Chain A
Amino acid sequence: METVVEIEHLKKSFGNNHVLNDINLKIERGENMVVFGKSGSGKSVLIKCLVGLLEPDEGKVVILGNEIAKLPTEELNVLRKKIGFLFQSAALYDSMTVRENLEFPLRDLKKKPQAEIDALVLETLTSVGLEDAMDKMPSELSGGMRKRVGLARTLILKPEIILYDEPTTGLDPITSKEISQLILDVQKKYNAASIIITHDVECARITANRMVVIKEGQCIAQGTFNELSASTDKWVSSFFK
C-alpha cells in the first residue's frame, strides 16, 4: 500500500494553548481514516495543517511525497489541487450559482472547451444526486444539499486525498446517513484516501476503515471501529455509549 499522508511529531500551539502535541499518523491510498475527539481537541487544526492553512510549530507533514512546509507557494497550490477539502459549513461561494461554484476550481487548469466543463459539472453533480440544483444559488439550498454541493466542488478536481471537516454536523440523522454513505461511495469510485473529522459515532461506523482518537492534542488510541468501541479505556469507550 502506498502512504499518501505522513504526519510526524506535529505540534501546534495558539499562545499557551497547545492544541496539537506530537501527532504521528500515516494514511494509505484508498483508506478512510476517521479522527475522533471532543470539540476543541484539535481535529480541525490537524487537517488545516495538512493543506497549509495553518503552519505547524514543529514536526513534518508529507503529502504525496511532498513536505508541505518546504514547498514554495506555486508548488503548494499545484499540490492543493490534488487534495479536496470539505468544510464544516461547506463554504460555498455565496455570490455564485452551484454551477459557478463547481466551475471555479477548474479555472486554473489548461483551457478546456466549455462543453467539456459542462459535462464534468453535470457528471459530478449527478454523483452527489444534485443535478437539478445546477442553477440555484447556495442560499436556496438546504444544509444537506450545501454539503453535497461542497463535496461535488471537492470532487470535480478528482482529488487523491479528501479531508472532511465534520461532514455530518448540523444535519438530521437521515441526511447524516446519506452523507456518510456518499463518503463511502466516493472512496470506492475515486480510490481516494480520506481523513474524516467527526464526533458522530454513526458516521464513523459507516465510513471508517481505521480510527484515531485525539485527546489533548495527542493520539491516544488507534484501531478499527469495532476495536475502539470495545475499548476498556473509560475515555475512549465514553464516545460509543
Chain B
Amino acid sequence: MPINLKIENKVVVEKIAKLAEHSHIKALKGFFIEMAELSIFTLRFFKEALKPRYEFKELIKQAYLIGYKSFPLVAITGLIMGLVLTIQSRPTLAEFGAESWLPAMVAVSIVREIGPVITALIFAGKVGSGIGAELASMKVTEQIDAMEVSGINPFKYLVVTRIAAATFMLPVLVIAADAISMYGAYIGVNLKGDVSFHLFFLEVFAKLSFSDVFPALIKTVFFGLAIGLIGCYKGYNADKGTEGVGKAANAAVVYASLMVFVIDMIAVQVTSLFS
C-alpha cells in the first residue's frame, strides 16, 4: 500500500510539474506576444504622430485634462513629500551636527529622484488608469469603430493626442511638484528652526547643479511617454465587455508604475555613465 501511494504521488507530482511547465511556457509566450504588440503599438504611435493631419485642438484639450486637472493632486503630494522628507531627515543629520545640510540634501533628493518618481507614480495612478478606462469603454461601446467607419483615424485622434499630452505634461508637473516640495521642505525646516526663505533657497540652489536637474527632467519625458503608451495600449486593445474596462484600467496602472521604476533604473545607470 505505501508503495502504491508513493507511485500515485509521483504520478500526481509529475502531472502537476507538467501542467506548471505548460502554464509557465504559456505565460512566457503571452509575455513575449504582449511585448511584441506593445512594440508595434509604439512604432505606430511615432509613425502616426509625425504624419499630418495634426490634431492640435484635441492635443490642447488632453493637455488641459491630463496636466492641469492633475495639478492639485500633484501639488498636495509634492508639499507633503518635501515636508515629510525634511522632518524625517532632520534627526539623522542632527546626530552628526549637520543640520545645516538639510536644505541641500532635501533639494538634491527631491530633484534627482523623489520628485520625478513619486509624481510619475501619482500620474500613472490618475492619468494611466483614466486613459485606460476611457479608451476601453469607447472600444466596448463601439465608439472607436464608429470613428473608424466615419473615415476618421481613431488612433491619431485618440491615442496620439493622449500619449503626446502625457509626454509633454508630466515634466511640467514634475517641475511644479519639485518647486512645491521645496516649499514644503522650507516649512519643515522652520518647524524646529528659524531659517529665512532667502537663506533656505540660497542653500538649495548652491548645491543643485545642471547635472541634477537636466537628467531628472529627461527621464520624466520617458515616464510620461511610458504612462501614456501603456494606458492607451491597454484601453485601445481592451476585450469586449465591462470586465474588460476594469481590467484595462487596472493593468494600465500596474504596468505603467512598473515601467516608471524600470525606466528610473536605466536612467540612473545612463546618468552615472556620463557623470
Q: Which of A51, A85, A88, A93 contacts B143 (CB 8 A)?
A: A93
- The yes or no answer to A1 lying at the interface (CB within 8 A) is no
- The yes or no answer to A174 lying at the interface (CB within 8 A) is no
Question: In residues 145-197 of chain B, which contact A (Cβ within 8 Å)?
Answer: 145-153
In the assembled complex, which residues on chain A have CB atoms less than 8 Å from the CB atom of B138?
A: 93
Query: Is the pair A94, B141 in contact by a Cβ cutoff of 8 Å?
Result: yes
Q: In the complex, A238 Cα to B269 Cα: how many Å?
A: 71
- The yes or no answer to A237 lying at the interface (CB within 8 A) is no
Query: Is the pair B153, A77 in contact by a Cβ cutoff of 8 Å?
Result: yes
Query: Is the pair A85, B141 in contact by a Cβ cutoff of 8 Å?
Result: no
Which residue from chain B places its CB closest to the CB of A105 in the assembled complex?
Answer: B150
Chain A CB count within 10 A is highest, among B143, B148, B150, for B150
Query: Is the pair B141, A89 in contact by a Cβ cutoff of 8 Å?
Result: yes
- The yes or no answer to B142 lying at the interface (CB within 8 A) is yes
Instruction: Number of B interface residues at 8 Å Cβ cutoff, please give it.
Output: 13
Query: Is the pair B141, A91 in contact by a Cβ cutoff of 8 Å?
Result: yes
For A142-160 the 0/1 string (1 means CB < 8 A from B) is 0000000000010001000
Q: What does DSSP make chain A's interface, helix, strand, loop or mixed?
A: loop
Query: Is the pair B146, A80 in contact by a Cβ cutoff of 8 Å?
Result: no
Q: In the complex, A77 Cα to B149 Cα: how many Å?
A: 8
Q: In the complex, A77 Cα to B143 Cα: how many Å?
A: 16
In the assembled complex, which residues on chain A have CB atoms less than 8 Å from the CB atom of B151?
A: 77-81, 105, 108
Which residue from chain A places its CB closest to the CB of B57 in the assembled complex?
Answer: A107
In the assembled complex, which residues on chain B have CB atoms less than 8 Å from the CB atom of A81?
A: 150-151
In the assembled complex, which residues on chain A have CB atoms less than 8 Å from the CB atom of B143?
A: 91-94
In the assembled complex, which residues on chain A have CB atoms less than 8 Å from the CB atom of B152?
A: 77, 104-105, 107-108
Query: Is the pair A87, B153 in contact by a Cβ cutoff of 8 Å?
Result: no
For B87-98 the 0/1 string (1 means CB < 8 A from A) is 000000000000
B16 to chain A, nearest CB (A): 29
Instruction: Number of A interface residues at 8 Å Cβ cutoff, please give it.
Output: 24
Question: In residues 100-118 of chain A, which contact B (Cβ within 8 Å)?
Answer: 104-105, 107-108
Which residue from chain A places its CB closest to the CB of B142 in the assembled complex?
Answer: A91
Q: In the complex, A89 Cα to B153 Cα: how many Å?
A: 21
In the assembled complex, which residues on chain A have CB atoms less than 8 Å from the CB atom of B153?
A: 73, 77
Query: Is the pair B149, A53 in contact by a Cβ cutoff of 8 Å?
Result: yes
- The yes or no answer to A83 lying at the interface (CB within 8 A) is yes
Which residue from chain A places its CB closest to the CB of B144 in the assembled complex?
Answer: A91
Query: Is the pair A104, B149 in contact by a Cβ cutoff of 8 Å?
Result: no
Q: In the complex, A93 Cα to B143 Cα: how many Å?
A: 6
In the assembled complex, which residues on chain A have CB atoms less than 8 Å from the CB atom of B147?
A: 93, 104
Q: In the complex, A17 Cα to B145 Cα: how many Å?
A: 23
Which residue from chain A places its CB closest to the CB of B53 in the assembled complex?
Answer: A108
For A163-175 the 0/1 string (1 means CB < 8 A from B) is 0000000000000
Q: In the complex, A94 Cα to B140 Cα: how many Å?
A: 12
In the assembled complex, which residues on chain B have CB atoms less than 8 Å from the CB atom of A77?
A: 151-153
Q: Which of A48, A87, A108 contacts B146 (CB 8 A)?
A: A87
A33 to chain B, nearest CB (A): 19
Query: Is the pair B141, A80 in contact by a Cβ cutoff of 8 Å?
Result: no
Which residue from chain B places its CB closest to the CB of A76 in the assembled complex?
Answer: B151
In the assembled complex, which residues on chain B have CB atoms less than 8 Å from the CB atom of A157?
A: 150
Which residue from chain B places its CB closest to the CB of A93 in the assembled complex?
Answer: B143
Give residues in A with beta carbon < 8 Å to B: 48, 51, 53, 73, 77-81, 83, 85, 87-89, 91-94, 104-105, 107-108, 153, 157
Q: Given contacts A79-B151, A91-B143, A93-B143, could you give 18 more A-B pairs where the C-beta distance is less than 8 Å?
A: A73-B153, A77-B152, A77-B153, A78-B151, A80-B149, A81-B150, A89-B141, A89-B142, A91-B145, A91-B146, A92-B143, A93-B138, A93-B146, A93-B147, A104-B150, A104-B152, A105-B151, A105-B152
List 5 A-B pairs, minimum CB-CB distance, nearest first: A91-B146, A77-B151, A80-B151, A91-B142, A105-B150
